[in-house]
């Protein structure tokens, strides 16, 4: 019987033929690649079936991740036939030039299929740098090393996107973005950070102008937000639906939809372009890879944070289950991408085969894999195993990835959270097909003395970083950043029932629902949360949690935006490769209601908020990720975008002292003689401007 390495070959045998003509010269391990094309066939087949049947299947397969193997089992029973004449179907379905031969889609000469079952142009091998980051050599690549400050933008769908917009606007207003070395974002946070990092348009254009609450009348609020915020007013529902009905390639549907609404409008929607950190790097890459050109790359403007991490996850290799012990972070950056350190027990991950029933065979061994160990230059990410120097080196030769890790793909992957809300919302269109949308990437580990090479590449299901760390804190701690700001743009309200400032300790049960769950997991409460993989995220002592919740509660009670600034000892966490025994200055912003903010709003806006569910701002500020507005899946109105982003911007500016202490390293008492004194009394803009001038003086005199 089959063993894992040849499972897919066996299936190919069972199924008879595959949908694509595999060209061996194209790819070293094409056997594994076929699995993804089965996904496509299944997707197509399900659509041919009645909606009721699709729904049944959806219910039956209420699992988090796609089962390629399972799919192929079904295919062996009932195979899809393509009408002989429908080459155009093949073209849209395989994302590249194809021809239809005897009812099968074949790649045209010069093209070959890859991990996603689509036809890609054959490209020359590439020469790229590999950086080991593991027990033997712990250093991150230069741009991601020696970072002093970090800002982390949490996930949380459109709410997190819009709140992140307000956060960046506030920080920019205080001139603190230029003092941020590392920006980490997850999911919805990446919908804002991705465009912000790479667009060369003015920051004002992108983020919108600074606001003050007293000016946010309904008339003002209904004007169009800045360019990035405008993206939040466009819905993806119709794009997804059209794509489904057109039979578009399922792997691209999600990424394409976000590309369409978020990136294309600001000129970043070309998915043939690679990411790179700056022009001199592009020149170096081109020198070593003459088939690439300057136009093939996008780079961030020079005034953006030096390091940028879009957080995704590796769920499991195709055909295998993901669980708490297999999910691993995938860190996508303009310079290097991959998975640092060797996560897992003793640095290895154990993957069980997916589903108990498929093949009903015990012959398929659980898979034990070494994953991670470092990063590869982003333009080469997704390649097959390098020909040499898998343990790291400069200009290492490897097969070209079949398509770039484009900004759109990174943004889409970082937010590919179908498992939870989207598949539910998409049930009408055949929720089960959402499973087939999970992106796939080729990954190989960086080898070392402990895990010597060569080690083969595998196809991983990849997805939303929020499954594992929805805060973005962990990549910052991995890089030992000593001063960190976290924006928790959550819909969880700060617990107000118990008094966290009382001397008596409050139990884990109550603390465990008192703030964003992806903050509490950092204190060892990760096991309390179902449906996510947070078990391995403890980095702080449990006893350090209550004082922070006390801070948040105190501000919340006083009607102020809730923040807490504390110095915490970092605990060792070997799963993430985090060295313990050092201290981090951590500023937490926790999204919640602010009475002070609301009291400054013009009367008509206040009235609208007071109208609750009946008004324009139902749930404010905890807007829902899905169906905040009855006629859309994820979009908000301009007024909602403007109000929520202004709340967060206000929070940053009102707590300017805290933010400056952390990001500019300037002791707080320079800015706030009495903590929070006069907070309510000061006119926001005057206060902030006064501070800015004072700050400029201080900085210049240093
Ligand atoms: C497609 O064409 C081949 C011959 O080229 C023929 O044998 C086959 O029956 C045709 N299939 C369909 C579905 O028309
Ligand atoms: C996208 O970028 C590629 C690579 O630079 C270029 O060849 C192509 O023309 C661009 N496509 C569009 C639509 O601009």
pLDDT in tens, 491-538: 999 999 889 998 788 887 788 889 999 999 999 988 766 556 788 899
Q: How many domains does the chain have?
A: 2
The tens digit of pLDDT for each residue in 344-387 reads 877 788 877 654 433 334 445 678 889 999 999 999 999 989 99
Which atom in ligand 1 lies closest to the alpha carbon of residue 101? 5
Instruction: Return d(Cα 441, Cα 383) in angstroms, integer.
Output: 9
Say whether pLDDT at 553 is over 90: yes
What residues form DSSP beta bridges with 153? 185, 487
Say whether pLDDT at 90 is over 50: yes
Ligand 2: centre distance to CA 335 (Å): 21
- Let me know whether 191 and 117 are in one domain: no
- Let me know whether 463 and 599 are in one domain: yes
- Let me know whether 95 and 237 are in one domain: no
Q: Which two tokens stand for residue 350?
A: 């154990």
Which atom in ligand 2 lies closest to the alpha carbon of residue 271? 1
CA distances from 138 to 183, 339, 614, 678 (A): 20, 13, 55, 46
Instruction: Return d(Cα 615, Cα 594) in angstroms, integer.
Output: 18
4-13, 196-205, 334-343, 614-623: lowest mean pLDDT where? Answer: 4-13
Assess if residue 72 is contained within a domain. no
- Let me know whether 245 and 294 are in one domain: yes
Query: What residue's CA is closest to ligand 2, atom 10?
Result: 270
- Let me know whether 562 and 647 are in one domain: yes
The tens digit of pLDDT for each residue in 559-569 reads 999 999 999 99
Instruction: Give percent of the chain above pLDDT 70.
Output: 72
102 CB under 6 A from ligand 1? Answer: yes
- Let me know whether 151 and 110 are in one domain: no
- Residue 307 pLDDT grade (very low, low, confident, very high; cuts 50, 70, 90): very high
Q: What is the pLDDT of residue 29?
A: 27
Query: What residue's CA is closest to ligand 1, atom 7?
Result: 102
- Closest ligand to the CA of 403: 2
Assess if residue 76 is contained within a domain. no
Q: What is the pLDDT of residue 41?
A: 37
Ligand 1: centre distance to CA 104 (Å): 10
| 18 three-state secondary structure | coil
Q: What is the pLDDT of residue 317?
A: 81
| 175 three-state secondary structure | coil
Place of tokens 């449906």: 531
- Closest ligand to the CA of 86: 1
Per-residue pLDDT, averaged over 673-692, amounts to 35
What is the full DSSP assignment across 605-670?
A: HHHHHHTGGGSTTTTTTS--SS-SSTT-SS---HHHHHHHHHHHHHHHHHTHHHHHHHHT---GGG
Distance of CA 28 to the CA centre of its chain: 30
- Let me know whether 149 and 216 are in one domain: yes
Say whether pLDDT at 274 is over 50: yes
- List the domain range (segments joined by +) for residue 100: 85-122
- Let me know whether 102 and 211 are in one domain: no
Assess if residue 631 is contained within a domain. yes
Answer for the pair 444, 228: CB distance below 8 angstroms, yes or no: no
Query: What residue's CA is closest to ligand 1, atom 1?
Result: 102
The enclosing H or E element of 164 equals helix 157-173
Assess if residue 674 is contained within a domain. no
Query: What residue's CA is closest to ligand 1, atom 3?
Result: 102
Instruction: Return d(Cα 13, Cα 321) in angstroms, integer.
Output: 24
Assess if residue 625 is contained within a domain. yes
Ligand 2: centre distance to CA 251 (Å): 21
End-to-end CA distance of the chain: 72
Q: What is the pLDDT of residue 380?
A: 98
User: Cα angle vertex 9, ends 45, 357, to 5°?
Assistant: 60
Q: Which of 270, 291, 298 should be mutated for ligand 2, with most atoms under 8 A from CB?
A: 270
Per-residue pLDDT, averaged over 81-100, amounts to 52
Q: What is the pLDDT of residue 528?
A: 61
Pocket of ligand 2 (CB under 6 A): 270, 272-273, 295-296
- Let me know whether 115 and 162 are in one domain: no
Assess if residue 619 is contained within a domain. yes
The tens digit of pLDDT for each residue in 192-233 reads 999 999 999 999 999 999 999 999 999 999 999 999 999 999
Runs of H (alpha helix) within 267-390: 279-288
- Let me know whether 114 and 216 are in one domain: no
Q: What is the pLDDT of residue 81?
A: 36
Say whether pLDDT at 7 is over 50: no
Instruction: Return d(Cα 193, Cα 203) in angstroms, integer.
Output: 12
| CATH code of the domain containing 487 | 3.40.1090
- Let me know whether 152 and 110 are in one domain: no
Assess if residue 54 is contained within a domain. no
Instruction: Give percent of the chain above pLDDT 90.
Output: 55
Residue 585 — φ and ψ, nearest 5°? -90, 115
- Which of 103, 123, 101, 100 lies closest to 111 in space, CA to CA? 123
The tens digit of pLDDT for each residue in 569-612 reads 999 999 899 999 999 999 999 999 999 999 999 999 999 999 99
Assess if residue 505 is contained within a domain. yes
Instruction: Return d(Cα 344, Cα 627) in angstroms, integer.
Output: 37
Spell out the residues 6+ positions from residue 501 whose beta carbon is closer than 8 angstroms to its own. Answer: 550, 553, 554
Which atom in ligand 2 lies closest to the alpha carbon of residue 270? 1
Q: Which of 85, 99, 100, 103 should be mutated for ligand 1, with most atoms under 8 A from CB?
A: 103
- Let me know whether 117 and 259 are in one domain: no
Average model confidence (pLDDT) across the chain: 78
Q: What is the pLDDT of residue 251?
A: 65
Q: Which two tokens stand for residue 6?
A: 């040849």
Q: What is the pLDDT of residue 118?
A: 65
Q: What is the pLDDT of residue 467?
A: 84
Q: Are strands 440-443 and 458-464 parallel, antiparallel or unpaired?
A: antiparallel
């Amino acid at each position: 019987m089959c063993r894992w390495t040849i499972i897919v070959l066996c299936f190919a045998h069972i199924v008879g033929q595959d949908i694509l003509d595999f060209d061996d010269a194209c790819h070293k391990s094409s056997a594994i690649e076929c699995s993804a094309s089965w996904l496509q066939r299944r997707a197509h087949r399900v659509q041919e079936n009645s909606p009721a049947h699709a729904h049944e299947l959806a219910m039956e397969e209420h699992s988090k991740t796609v089962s390629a193997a399972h799919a192929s089992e079904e295919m062996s029973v009932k195979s899809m036939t393509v009408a002989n004449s429908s080459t155009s179907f093949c073209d849209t379905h395989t994302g590249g030039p194809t021809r239809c031969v005897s009812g099968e889609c074949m790649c045209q000469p010069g093209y070959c299929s890859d991990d996603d079952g689509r036809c890609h142009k054959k490209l020359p091998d590439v020469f790229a740098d590999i950086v080991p980051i593991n027990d033997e050599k712990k250093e991150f690549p230069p741009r991601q090393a020696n970072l002093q400050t970090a800002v982390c933008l949490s996930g949380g769908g459109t709410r997190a996107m819009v709140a992140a917009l307000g956060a960046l606007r506030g920080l920019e207003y205080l001139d603190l973005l230029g003092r941020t070395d590392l920006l980490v974002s997850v999911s919805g946070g990446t919908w804002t950070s991705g465009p912000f990092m790479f667009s060369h348009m003015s920051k004002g254009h992108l983020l919108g102008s600074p606001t003050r609450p007293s000016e946010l009348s309904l008339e003002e609020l209904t004007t169009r937000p800045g360019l990035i915020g405008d993206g939040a007013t466009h819905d993806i529902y119709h794009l997804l639906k059209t794509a489904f009905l057109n039979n578009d390639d399922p792997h691209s549907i999600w990424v394409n939809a976000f590309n369409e609404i978020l990136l294309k409008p600001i000129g970043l929607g070309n998915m043939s372009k690679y990411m790179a950190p700056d022009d001199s790097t592009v020149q170096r890459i081109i020198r070593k890879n003459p088939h690439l050109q300057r136009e093939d790359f996008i780079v961030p403007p020079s005034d953006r944070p030096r390091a940028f991490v879009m957080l995704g996850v590796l769920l499991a290799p195709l055909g295998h289950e993901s669980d708490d012990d297999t999910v691993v972070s995938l860190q996508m950056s303009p310079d290097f991408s991959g998975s640092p350190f060797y996560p897992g027990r003793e640095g290895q991950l154990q993957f069980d085969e997916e589903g108990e029933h498929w093949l009903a065979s015990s012959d398929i061994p659980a898979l034990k894999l070494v994953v991670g160990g470092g990063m590869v230059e982003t333009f080469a990410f997704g390649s097959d195993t390098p020909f040499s120097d898998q343990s790291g080196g400069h200009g290492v030769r490897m097969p070209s990835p079949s398509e770039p890790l484009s900004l759109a793909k990174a943004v889409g992957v970082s937010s590919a959270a179908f498992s939870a809300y989207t598949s539910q919302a998409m049930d009408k269109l055949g929720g089960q097909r959402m499973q087939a949308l999970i992106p796939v990437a080729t990954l190989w580990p960086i080898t070392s003395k402990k895990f010597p090479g060569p080690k083969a590449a595998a196809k991983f299901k990849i997805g939303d970083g929020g499954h594992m760390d929805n805060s973005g804190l962990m990549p910052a701690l991995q890089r030992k950043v000593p001063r960190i700001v976290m924006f928790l743009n959550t819909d969880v309200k700060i617990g107000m029932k118990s008094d966290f400032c009382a001397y008596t300790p409050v139990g884990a049960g109550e603390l465990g629902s008192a703030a964003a769950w992806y903050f509490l997991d950092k204190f060892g409460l990760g096991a309390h949360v179902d449906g996510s993989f947070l078990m391995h995220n403890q980095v702080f002592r449990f006893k350090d949690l209550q004082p922070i919740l006390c801070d948040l509660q105190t501000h919340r009670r006083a009607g102020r935006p809730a923040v807490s600034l504390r110095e915490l000892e970092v605990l060792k966490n070997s799963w993430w490769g985090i060295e313990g025994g050092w201290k981090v200055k951590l500023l937490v912003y926790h999204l919640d209601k602010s009475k002070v903010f609301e009291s400054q709003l013009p009367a008509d806006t206040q009235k609208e908020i007071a109208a609750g569910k009946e008004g324009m701002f139902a749930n404010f500020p905890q807007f829902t990720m899905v169906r905040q507005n009855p006629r859309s899946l994820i979009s908000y109105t301009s007024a909602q975008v403007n109000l929520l982003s202004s709340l967060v911007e206000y929070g940053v500016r009102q707590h300017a002292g805290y933010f400056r202490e952390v990001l500019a390293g300037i002791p707080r008492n320079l800015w706030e003689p009495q903590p929070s004194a006069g907070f309510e009394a000061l006119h926001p803009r005057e206060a902030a401007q006064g501070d800015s001038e004072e700050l400029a003086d201080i900085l210049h005199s240093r």
